């Protein structure tokens, strides 16, 4: 396929763009309208509907994914900035053995009510627990600061993360043994 | 949310400078997207053409030079917060940038964007201002350095010409200054600031125990059409020199008289005025604990 | 989290069973309406009025229709059925045809190949108006100078007249207290915005999928708008991302519009509102102006209460008449008051219509009443718990509507428990000391608020207060359970599965709860009024009782024991006398299959009939009430006036607690939503234009804003509830605003008369306080 970005036409305003990037370890190659964000691509092109749109403005965290190792709101990542990026969504995380204690803990602690914020919360929790083995309360609060929930009042979500941290720590020690 | 724009993706600074030098239509830069994309979604007439500069390697990186730190305009907030030297001596800057948005926003948003967006409530700006930051701006045929204080014309408006781009933010090295930044939002966490305040000061302790102020810089956000320094208050304090509770109180009174905030959906003018002084006072008390 | 009764006699009910829907939600597998797609589906967007009041002169669709990808642009003249959408009263068109009455009123609908094209085309529909004067304030509306509709601006007027003429009663009061309160809108801010998909099937039928609380309302609305018989309208509820009442009334509007477009285009049509649209047009909590006058006797008994409430309904009634009926029943709280004079008046304005929201017209008046009580206690030096107890409703006493409380009234116990658990006396003294120390950076306060809340739809809604359930036991022992009330996050699926499992003797894991489908279940009314546990629970028990009888009969035959010897629990049917004599649920069901014993039953339950006089506001408005008392500990920064709620103690009487874990989760959620309403959520509008159209301006609590919550339950069983249960969905939020407002009042010594209690307002009081202290 000829490279669309040749010297002559590289600086023309585009309405469509071809993007090659990685989602959940799979190579993705799509051509989408330039107005598409990562969230649009995930939900409408790739049918990964686990990542949700709650506001479209980066203010609720329902569209949280991990991109190049950092938590981001997919609704603000424009298609043109996606080239070569490595994205992990809830679909990817829910398949990872290291995420199982997190998901199990959310289920066990009644941390899920309507569930719309939950994929984003799980992704944020996964990122947090990848960074800190035994997060302090403040670290948990800071880690969830960008994820809004309207149903649960957050208490049981924090409880779930605390237990998952303990579980993951136990697993790590067991592995080392 | 009607989205109606085209995108030009640029790959290096030179390409960008050439493009914006010859471009005929209005455009906006997009890097992190945390302001521009939000505005573009909210208001279709905000941007018909976006120039995506997120791949420009020349805008990334923080460099330590002999007497300055040079921050690429494309440096993400998350990277800036982690920079060791800033955590040591530039408390106001780290506090400010750590409070921009949420973790997700900080992974995407850039310092250049926070400045270029020119919001009167832009959180990094008061902190940069009290450090006398300069903005380096380039066009195809020129290179200029503009004091941050002189960079803003009004809400959302800067002195940038159509063919210019912010490339670097230059922060001078300081010795012996303490600094702080505070803001109030509509809730404890992630919120747009109702009012914010930053200050950097240096003082010495006289043999008789009194505190002599040697320098002070104060900047306020969300109390004027742009982020501002309060020159009269600074002048007063530097003239008075001796730091006491009552001097601080007088300084606060002058500060309040220097500003005229508006009332809007987030707050009202009276509260903002009082709180601008309040936050400033608290910063001084925290950097000069004896004054508490 | 504790309950009063230590022993739970049941095997599944009363346990902390794991939520049955949590795993799918936590892994992102659960399908909400926007996750669904159908072949050749179109996307619809509405075109909204940009003015608050005006006549429509001309609508020009040409530019919109000319856009590539646009399939249809529809206006009122193309509605195939009737152009109406009212929930209770016929005052609202599906699409505005002659006049518009609020900014955001839908005037046209565009259907296009993609959402983006539909949005772009919607901008190109040109509407010419002749603007009219708008009425934007309830006092102004009351003057009737500008009318929103041809008839009166008064939507409803409920009266409560109990005891002596009120002025005479006040003459006998030892002391009277008066205050006027105002309270702003609240926005539901469910994380999942409104949306639906309408799929045409066969020649003229339609199936609607959507995020909704009331599939039967939606069915009715679509049938009317399209001119279809109800039997040709099928509604299937999707997983719902939050409702809180906000998906009670308005989904019908969006579904009818999508269905209309589906009918006209012959293709599936999806309509999803984005956040700004949702904030602009979906229904809100009624703002109210509440005038209270309360009289007490020398012995601290409330002898008289006079209340006038003006409730702002917006441009259309939707469900306002029912909301304000509740206001008229609950404005006096759970207290014995011999002389009551209440007027609750609903008024039209040219603003967004107000509708259902968790608490349904009561959190507002609870805030006012509990603030009055706080004022009384402060002025008279009464202990807030003793005063409330002294006036508390209990068995045998009469409510403000002269409802004699016959059973299930744990109000006093909630007062005792809340006081004990919160360590009220100790904390109050500590806070007083703290506040008197000028070295402290904050003021601390502790506040109390109590509620009573009628369960189910009450006297006014009795004609809708029924529910169906269908249970089908498959030959392999797995079970499908379908009811008419919706799981929207509150835990209905799990609670109802527990009730079914208890009654059938099976494991919860055997049950597959299917979302509401109007083809399977008869009209079960709306999922509101905290009625789901009772209504659907009882309907399940009706079906399950029939099934259990058959199963026990079969088990008695299989085990060769008497029927009354058969026990059924956790998937095993066994002999009471010899537990080793058993047969598994699976095996038993299989045997029934081969013996042609049908194991599929419908259940049905109707809410107890009650007697209420609308003229005098006297009688039994609801068959039973839940009660609660909350205690809030708050902290106010002395310099910035920012408020932090540090701790909530919540004592709830909800009858039998079916699932203690889910119940305490509900309370925690209610606390967060209540505290947001109390101190930070502030909808701002200017000339009818809502300015707070995003989460950065309409701010709701984040993880750092919520307090420690200690929940205690009181189980005063209700004879009409499944296993004695009542409801919790709304009571979990209702006392919070009053408790927080009273906590702030205690902290800064000032009873605020407006909610939200913003720092700007608190600061004005503190400023004066500090200035006078300085002197």
Do B193 and B274 share a structural domain? yes
pLDDT of residue B190: 82
Residue B76: Cβ within 10 Å count: 23
pLDDT of residue A2: 41
Examine residue C143 and state whether it is found in any structural domain, yes or no: no
Domain that holds residue B223: 179-291
Closest-CA residue of A relative to C116 is: A35
Facing residues of B201 across strands? B178, B216
CA-based R_g, chain B, Å: 20
Note whether A71 contacts B104, CB cutoff 8 Å: yes
Average pLDDT (A67-73) is 98
CA angle C6, C12, C17 (to 5 degrees): 90
Cα separation, C582 vs C588, in Å, equals: 10
> By the 8 A CB rule, do C217 and C87 touch?
yes
Average pLDDT (C371-391) is 98
Note whether C759 contacts B271, CB cutoff 8 Å: yes
Whether residue C512 has pLDDT greater than 80:
yes
Tokens of C290: 């509440």
Note whether C665 contacts A110, CB cutoff 8 Å: yes
Q: Which of A56, A58, A150 to mutate to test the interface with B (most CBs of B within 10 A)?
A: A58
Note whether C694 contacts A55, CB cutoff 8 Å: yes
Three-state DSSP at C675 gives: helix
Whether residue A83 has pLDDT greater than 50:
yes
Superfamily of domain A16-89: Beta-grasp domain (3.10.20.30)
Examine residue C319 and state whether it is found in any structural domain, yes or no: no
Distance from CA of A126 to the nearest CA of C (A): 12
> By the 8 A CB rule, do C296 and C175 touch?
yes
- The last residue of one of the domains, among C547, C581, C606, is C606
pLDDT per position as a tens digit, B197-210: 999 999 999 999 89
C358 CB contacts (<8 Å, ≥6 apart)?
A: C188, C244, C245, C670, C673, C729, C730, C733, C734
In the stretch 669-728 of chain C, residues with CB closer than 8 A to chain A read 669-673, 694-696, 700-704, 706, 708-709
Do B142 and B246 share a structural domain? no
In the stretch 253-292 of chain C, residues with CB closer than 8 A to chain A read 274-275
Note whether B191 contacts C696, CB cutoff 8 Å: yes
Q: Which of B4, B42, B186 to mutate to test the interface with C (most CBs of C within 10 A)?
A: B186
Do B167 and B184 share a structural domain? no
Do B69 and B146 share a structural domain? yes
Facing residues of B215 across strands? B202
Average pLDDT (C683-707) is 96
Q: Which of C120, C680, C692 sits opposite B187 (nearest CB)?
A: C680
pLDDT per position as a tens digit, A87-100: 999 999 999 999 99
Examine residue B99 and state whether it is found in any structural domain, yes or no: yes
Note whether A146 contacts B33, CB cutoff 8 Å: no
pLDDT per position as a tens digit, C82-141: 999 877 788 999 999 999 999 999 999 999 999 999 999 999 999 999 999 999 999 999
Distance from CA of C478 to the nearest CA of A (A): 22
Confidence of residue C2 (pLDDT cuts 50, 70, 90): very low
Examine residue B57 and state whether it is found in any structural domain, yes or no: no
pLDDT per position as a tens digit, B76-133: 999 999 999 999 889 999 999 999 999 999 999 999 999 999 999 999 999 999 999 9
Note whether C489 contacts A56, CB cutoff 8 Å: no
Do B102 and B193 share a structural domain? no
Distance from CA of C144 to the nearest CA of B (A): 30
Do C600 and C554 share a structural domain? yes
Backbone angles phi, psi at C23, to 5 degrees: -65, -45
- The last residue of one of the domains, among C553, C581, C606, is C606
Examine residue C658 and state whether it is found in any structural domain, yes or no: yes
Chain B residues within 8 A of A70 when measuring between CB atoms: 78, 107
Within chain A, all domains assigned CATH 3.10.20.30 are found at: 16-89
Q: Which of A113, A135, A156, A159 to mutate to test the interface with C (most CBs of C within 10 A)?
A: A113
Domain that holds residue C510: 2-29+466-606
Do C443 and C520 share a structural domain? no
Q: What percent of chain C has pLDDT over 90?
A: 93
Residues of chain B with pLDDT under 50: none
The CA-atom distances, in angstroms, between B44 and each of A15, A77, B49, B122 are 15, 18, 11, 22
Query: Does residue B33 belong to the interface with chain A, where contact is any CB pair within 8 Å?
Result: yes
ipTM for the predicted complex: 0.95
E strand or H helix at C600, and its extent? strand C600-606
Closest-CA residue of C relative to A51 is: C28
> By the 8 A CB rule, do B46 and B3 touch?
no
Closest-CA residue of A relative to B18 is: A11
Do B162 and B71 share a structural domain? yes
> By the 8 A CB rule, do B227 and B221 touch?
yes
pLDDT of residue A173: 85
The CA-atom distances, in angstroms, between C491 and each of A151, A164, C494, C663, C729 are 11, 23, 5, 9, 10
Average pLDDT (C758-766) is 97
Do C745 and C715 share a structural domain? yes
Note whether C274 contacts B190, CB cutoff 8 Å: no
Do C651 and C701 share a structural domain? yes
The CA-atom distances, in angstroms, between C173 and each of C331, C334, C371, C667 are 20, 20, 19, 37
CA angle B243, B246, B247 (to 5 degrees): 45
Distance from CA of A101 to the nearest CA of B (A): 23
Examine residue B1 and state whether it is found in any structural domain, yes or no: no
In the predicted model, what is the mean pLDDT of chain C?
95
Question: How many residues are listed for chain B in this entry?
Answer: 292
Closest-CA residue of C relative to A102 is: C26
Do C731 and C591 share a structural domain? no
Three-state DSSP at C301 gives: coil
pLDDT of residue A3: 41
Q: What is the CATH code of the structural domain delimited by A96-176?
A: 1.10.150.120
Query: Does residue B263 belong to the interface with chain A, where contact is any CB pair within 8 Å?
Result: no
Note whether B1 contacts C701, CB cutoff 8 Å: no
Query: Does residue C660 belong to the interface with chain A, where contact is any CB pair within 8 Å?
Result: no
Strands (E), chain A: 16-23, 26-33, 64-67, 70-73, 86-88
Within chain A, all domains assigned CATH 1.10.150.120 are found at: 96-176
Examine residue C340 and state whether it is found in any structural domain, yes or no: no
Task: Read off the pTM.
Answer: 0.96
* CATH, residue C584: 3.30.365.10
Q: For chain A, list the contacting chains (3+ Cβ pairs, <8 Å).
A: B, C
> By the 8 A CB rule, do C161 and C617 touch?
yes
> How many domains would you assign to chain B?
3
pLDDT of residue A10: 55
Do C600 and C629 share a structural domain? no
Confidence of residue C4 (pLDDT cuts 50, 70, 90): very low
Do B151 and B107 share a structural domain? yes
Do C521 and C574 share a structural domain? yes
Examine residue C493 and state whether it is found in any structural domain, yes or no: yes
* CATH, residue B110: 3.30.465.10
Chain C residues within 8 A of A141 when measuring between CB atoms: 703-704
Do B112 and B198 share a structural domain? no
Q: Which of A39, A116, A153, A161 to mutate to test the interface with C (most CBs of C within 10 A)?
A: A153
C542: Cα separation from own chain's centroid:
26
Examine residue C185 and state whether it is found in any structural domain, yes or no: no
3-state helix, strand, coil in chain B (%, to 5): 35, 25, 35
Confidence of residue A1 (pLDDT cuts 50, 70, 90): very low
Whether residue C6 has pLDDT greater than 70:
no
Distance from CA of B258 to the nearest CA of C (A): 20
Examine residue C747 and state whether it is found in any structural domain, yes or no: yes
Note whether A76 contacts B42, CB cutoff 8 Å: no
Do C643 and C563 share a structural domain? no
> How many domains would you assign to chain C?
2
pLDDT of residue C76: 97
Note whether C29 contacts A54, CB cutoff 8 Å: no
Q: Which of B6, B7, B104 to mutate to test the interface with A (most CBs of A within 10 A)?
A: B104
Confidence of residue A5 (pLDDT cuts 50, 70, 90): very low
Note whether B102 contacts A72, CB cutoff 8 Å: no
Note whether A55 contacts C695, CB cutoff 8 Å: yes
Do C428 and C521 share a structural domain? no
Do C440 and C479 share a structural domain? no
Note whether B188 contacts C692, CB cutoff 8 Å: no
Cα separation, C510 vs C503, in Å, equals: 13
Confidence of residue A8 (pLDDT cuts 50, 70, 90): very low
Chain C residues within 8 A of A153 when measuring between CB atoms: 665, 668-673, 701, 706, 709
> By the 8 A CB rule, do C20 and C497 touch?
yes
Do C751 and C656 share a structural domain? yes
Q: Which of B38, B108, B189 sits opposite A72 (nearest CB)?
A: B108
Q: Which of A55, A103, A148 sits opposite C27 (nearest CB)?
A: A103
Q: For chain B, list the contacting chains (3+ Cβ pairs, <8 Å).
A: A, C
Q: Which of C119, C680, C763 sits opposite B2 (nearest CB)?
A: C119
pLDDT of residue B119: 96
- The last residue of one of the domains, among B143, B172, B201, is B172
Whether residue A51 has pLDDT greater than 50:
yes
Three-state DSSP at B71 gives: strand
Whether residue A48 has pLDDT greater than 90:
yes
Do B250 and B187 share a structural domain? yes
Note whether A12 contacts B8, CB cutoff 8 Å: yes
Task: Give the strand pairing for B178-184 and B195-205.
Answer: antiparallel
Examine residue C357 and state whether it is found in any structural domain, yes or no: no
Q: Which of B7, B15, B108 sits opposite A80 (nearest CB)?
A: B7
Q: Which of B21, B103, B188, B190 to mutate to test the interface with A (most CBs of A within 10 A)?
A: B103
Confidence of residue C392 (pLDDT cuts 50, 70, 90): very high
Do B158 and B78 share a structural domain? yes
3-state helix, strand, coil in chain C (%, to 5): 35, 25, 40
Q: For chain C, list the contacting chains (3+ Cβ pairs, <8 Å).
A: A, B
- Find the DSSP H helices in A57-99: 90-93
Check residue C491 and give left, alpha or beta (phi > 0: left; psi -120 to 50: alpha): left
Do C759 and C626 share a structural domain? yes
Q: Which of C119, C696, C704 sits opposite B192 (nearest CB)?
A: C696
Residue C77: Cβ within 10 Å count: 9
Q: Give the DSSP letter of residue A119.
A: H
Q: What percent of chain C has pLDDT over 70?
A: 99
Tokens of A54: 């709650």
- The last residue of one of the domains, among C606, C631, C663, is C606
pLDDT of residue A174: 85
Note whether B10 contacts A11, CB cutoff 8 Å: yes
Q: Which of C122, C274, C680 sits opposite B186 (nearest CB)?
A: C680
Whether residue A85 has pLDDT greater than 90:
yes
């Amino acid at each position: 396929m000829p490279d669309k970005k040749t010297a002559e036409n590289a600086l023309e305003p585009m309405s469509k763009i071809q993007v090659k990037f990685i989602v959940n370890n799979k190579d993705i190659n799509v051509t989408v309208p330039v107005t598409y964000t990562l969230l649009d691509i995930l939900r409408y092109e790739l049918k990964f509907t686990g990542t949700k749109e709650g506001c479209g403005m980066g203010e609720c965290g329902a569209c949280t994914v991990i991109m190049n190792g950092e938590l981001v709101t997919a609704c603000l990542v424009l298609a043109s900035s996606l080239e070569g990026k490595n994205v992990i969504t809830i679909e990817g995380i829910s398949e990872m053995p290291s995420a199982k204690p997190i998901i199990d803990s959310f289920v066990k602690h009644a941390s899920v009510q309507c569930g719309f914020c939950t994929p984003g919360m799980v992704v944020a929790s996964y990122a947090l627990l990848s960074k800190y083995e035994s997060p302090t309360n403040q670290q948990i609060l800071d880690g969830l600061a960008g994820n809004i929930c309207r149903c649960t009042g957050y208490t049981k979500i924090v409880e779930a993360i605390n237990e998952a941290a303990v579980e993951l720590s136990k697993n790590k020690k067991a592995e080392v043994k | 949310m009607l989205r109606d724009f085209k995108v030009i993706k640029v790959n290096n600074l030179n390409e960008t400078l050439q493009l914006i030098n010859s471009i005929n239509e209005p455009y906006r830069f997009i890097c992190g997207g945390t302001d521009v994309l939000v505005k573009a979604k909210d208001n279709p007439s905000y941007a018909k053409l976006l120039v995506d500069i997120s791949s420009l390697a020349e805008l990334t990186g923080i460099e330590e030079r002999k007497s300055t730190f040079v921050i690429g305009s494309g440096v993400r907030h998350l990277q800036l917060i982690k920079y060791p030297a800033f955590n040591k001596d530039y408390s106001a800057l780290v506090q400010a940038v750590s409070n921009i948005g949420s973790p997700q926003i900080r992974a995407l948003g850039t310092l250049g964007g926070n400045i270029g967006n020119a919001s009167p409530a832009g959180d990094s700006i008061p902190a940069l201002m009290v450090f006398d930051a300069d903005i380096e701006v380039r066009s195809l045929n020129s290179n200029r350095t503009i004091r941050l204080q002189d960079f803003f014309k009004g809400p959302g408006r800067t002195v940038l010409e159509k063919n210019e781009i912010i490339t670097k933010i230059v922060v001078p090295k300081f010795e012996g200054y303490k600094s702080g930044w505070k803001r109030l939002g509509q809730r404890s966490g992630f919120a747009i600031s109702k009012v914010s305040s930053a200050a950097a000061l240096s003082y010495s302790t006289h043999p008789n125990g009194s505190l002599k102020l040697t320098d002070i810089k104060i900047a306020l956000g969300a109390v004027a059409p742009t982020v501002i320094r309060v020159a009269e208050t600074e002048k007063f304090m530097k003239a008075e020199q001796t730091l006491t509770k009552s001097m601080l109180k007088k300084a606060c009174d002058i500060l309040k008289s220097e500003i005229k905030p508006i009332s809007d959906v987030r707050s009202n003018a009276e509260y903002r005025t009082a709180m601008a002084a309040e936050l400033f006072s608290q910063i001084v008390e925290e950097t000069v604990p004896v004054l508490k | 989290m504790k309950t009063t009764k230590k022993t739970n006699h049941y095997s599944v009910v009363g346990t902390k069973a794991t939520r049955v829907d949590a795993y799918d939600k936590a892994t992102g597998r659960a399908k909400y309406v926007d996750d669904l797609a159908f072949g050749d589906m179109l996307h619809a967007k509405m075109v909204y009025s940009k003015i608050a009041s005006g006549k429509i002169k001309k609508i020009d669709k040409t530019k919109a229709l000319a856009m590539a990808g646009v399939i249809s642009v529809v206006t009122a003249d193309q509605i195939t059925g009737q152009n109406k959408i009212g929930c209770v009263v016929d005052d609202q068109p599906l699409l505005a045809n002659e006049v518009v009455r609020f900014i955001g009123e839908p005037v046209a609908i565009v259907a296009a190949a993609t959402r983006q094209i539909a949005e772009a085309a919607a901008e190109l529909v040109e509407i010419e108006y002749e603007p009219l004067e708008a009425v934007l304030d309830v006092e102004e509306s009351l003057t009737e100078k500008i009318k929103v509709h041809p008839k009166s601006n008064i939507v409803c007027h409920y009266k409560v007249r109990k005891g002596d003429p009120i002025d005479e009663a006040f003459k006998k009061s030892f002391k009277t207290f008066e205050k006027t309160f105002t309270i702003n809108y609240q926005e539901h801010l469910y994380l999942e915005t409104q949306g639906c998909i309408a799929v045409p099937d066969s020649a003229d039928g339609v199936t609607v999928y959507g995020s909704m609380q009331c599939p039967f309302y939606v069915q009715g609305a679509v049938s009317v708008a399209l001119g279809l018989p109800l039997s040709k309208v099928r509604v299937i509820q999707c997983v719902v991302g939050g409702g809180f009442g906000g998906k009670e009334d308005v989904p019908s509007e969006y579904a009818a519009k999508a269905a209309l477009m589906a009918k006209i285009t012959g293709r599936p049509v999806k309509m999803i509102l984005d956040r700004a649209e949702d904030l602009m047009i979906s229904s809100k909590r009624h703002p109210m102006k509440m005038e209270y006058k309360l009289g007490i006797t020398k012995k601290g008994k409330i002898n008289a209460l006079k209340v006038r409430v003006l409730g702002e309904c917006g441009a259309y009634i939707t469900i306002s008449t029912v909301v304000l009926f509740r206001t008229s029943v609950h404005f006096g709280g759970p207290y014995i008051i011999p002389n009551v004079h209440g007027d609750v008046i609903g008024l039209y304005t040219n603003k967004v219509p107000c509708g259902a929201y968790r608490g349904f017209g009561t959190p507002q008046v609870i805030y006012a009443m509990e603030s009055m009580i706080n004022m009384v206690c402060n002025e008279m030096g009464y202990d807030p718990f003793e005063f409330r107890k002294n006036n508390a409703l209990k068995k045998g006493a009469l409510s403000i509507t002269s409802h004699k409380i016959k059973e299930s009234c744990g109000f006093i116990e909630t007062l005792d428990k809340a006081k004990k658990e919160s360590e009220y006396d100790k904390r109050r003294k500590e806070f007083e000391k703290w506040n008197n120390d000028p070295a402290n950076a904050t003021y601390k306060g502790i506040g109390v608020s109590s509620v009573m809340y009628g369960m189910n739809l009450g006297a006014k809604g009795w004609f809708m207060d029924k529910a169906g359930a269908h249970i089908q036991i498959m030959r392999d022992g797995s079970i499908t359970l379908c009811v008419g009330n919706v799981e929207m996050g509150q835990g209905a699926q799990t609670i109802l599965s527990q009730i079914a499992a208890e009654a059938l003797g099976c494991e919860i894991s055997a049950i597959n709860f299917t979302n509401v489908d109007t083809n399977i279940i008869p009209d079960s009314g709306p999922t509101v009024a905290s009625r789901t546990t009772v209504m659907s629970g009882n309907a399940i028990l009706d079906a399950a009782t029939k099934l259990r009888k058959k199963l026990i009969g079969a088990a008695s035959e299989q085990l060769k024991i008497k029927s009354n010897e058969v026990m059924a629990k956790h998937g095993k049917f066994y002999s009471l006398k010899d537990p080793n004599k058993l047969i598994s649920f699976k095996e038993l069901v299989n045997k029934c299959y081969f013996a042609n014993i049908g194991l599929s039953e419908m259940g049905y339950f109707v809410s107890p009939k009650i007697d209420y006089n609308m003229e005098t506001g006297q009688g039994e408005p609801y068959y039973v009430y839940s009660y609660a008392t909350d205690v809030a500990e708050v902290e106010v920064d002395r310099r910035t006036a920012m408020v932090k709620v540090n701790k909530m103690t919540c004592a709830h009487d909800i009858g039998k607690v079916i699932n203690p874990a889910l119940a305490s989760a509900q309370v925690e959620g209610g606390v967060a939503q209540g505290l947001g309403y109390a101190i930070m959520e502030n909808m701002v509008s200017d000339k009818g234009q809502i300015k707070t159209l995003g989460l950065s301006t309409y701010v709701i609590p984040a993880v750092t804003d919520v307090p420690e919550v200690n929940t205690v339950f009181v189980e005063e069983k209700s004879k009409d509830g499944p296993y004695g249960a009542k409801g919790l969905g709304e009571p979990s939020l209702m006392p919070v605003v009053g408790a927080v407002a009273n906590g702030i009042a205690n902290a800064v010594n000032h009873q605020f008369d407006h909610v939200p209690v913003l720092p700007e307002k608190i600061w004005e009081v503190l400023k004066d306080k500090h200035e006078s202290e300085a002197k």
